[in-house]
Structure 1
Amino acid sequence: MADYIPANDGQFGAWANNLMDYASGHLADLGLIAGDLTELINMQADYNAKITEHITARQTAQSARQAKDDSRNEFKSAIRRLVRQLQVSGNVDDPQREAMGITVADTIRTANTAEITTRPIGRVDTSQRLRHKIRFVDEATSTKRAKPKGIMGCEIWVKVLAAGAAAPISGDELSFVFMDTASPHIVEYDGNDGGKMAHYMLRWVKSGGQKGPWSETISATITA
């Protein structure tokens, strides 16, 4: 048989308050005297105080968690700005990048790209604010998600410019973003980049370091 006392705190409080109000207002009808309810009235007051404290503490915890999340997101955005500055600085070398735990680009260049004859085709999803989701497939098998045989991953490079500025024409003008082994890759931007254009170039990379030809430039607005 189901318990007549509700298990949920909110429902229990409403149910108990109703019971106590009814009993207090109908003592004679129920064959009770005031003393029969004295202990319960004290317990009712204690419970109502404790449940109020509990609700307040829970709301405070939720507020603190939101404040923590907001602080973390602002901190991450500031870190990304600094790292972008460091990545294009001529004063920062790869050992320093490794020491800081930031991405180290594979800068091995080889004239022998004959083994990689195809290029990635990229598509950028700009539906989310300050975020680009970059999907890539091979131009020879554009209806399939698989990378070409022997390919380790896809290098993603970018240059962010003001809207209307001329797009870069060479990979040498871009900064390394990431080498991803699977599509899609997510790139996040901070608020200062909102409304600007991100110009991407992609290329396949083999595990031995061989790099394929650059893709066509893929330009996308950074949604503010």
Structure 2
Amino acid sequence: MTATRTKTSFIPQAEGNFDAFARQFVNQLAADPAEYEMSAERVKALQTQLAEWDKKYAAAVKARDAAKAATESKDEARRQLEETVRSAAKLIQANDEITNAARDAAGLPVHKTTRTPVPVPQTFPTGTVIGTDRLELTLMYSDVATPTRKARPYGVRGCEVYVAIADNPPTNPEDYRFVAFSTRTPELIKFKSDDGGNTANILIRWVNTKGEPGPWSQVISATIPAV
């Protein structure tokens, strides 16, 4: 069975391979046209077109190499300029004598000179308590606005924990004593041996980074494990 080919399947697609193939093909036919039953006119046409291809291909390769060299030279020039620009910009940004208007005119970013004020906490923490060991309660808390998340509100440094041991929770926060400043939930609260079996009433509140407290939580009550 004779193999068949498409019209162009034998001609290489890559230009370097095509150049070598075309040169071999034309030169072989020109060397012995009788062997290939090729007319002088067709051989002449092939030689003329090969010469034209040689000229255009060489020019294209030269232009490609020149473009590559130009791109590499351009990239290096940019690298050097960018490095010098960054160095100069760093000096400008560190100089307090230079105005923000001048920075803006030079295309540099103008950074804020004042921080956003930290607000007083507007929400309160909510929590649950479980007895985890003798004379120990573990407090777990989160913000009432986002009870399923552990993250504290913006500007909050931590949570103040106050306890009052009484059968009925005091209504006055001043009747509670401070026991801990918690920065991470859960918080372990330990008690004295005399406290075992009694009721611990817990109040908590957020405190921001400036030491300003927010509103009190609801009272959280639990029995202190005695054994």
Q: TM-score, normalised by structure 2?
A: 0.46
Query: Which one has more relative contact order, counting CA pairs under 8 Å at least 6 apart?
Result: 1
Q: TM-score, normalised by structure 1?
A: 0.47
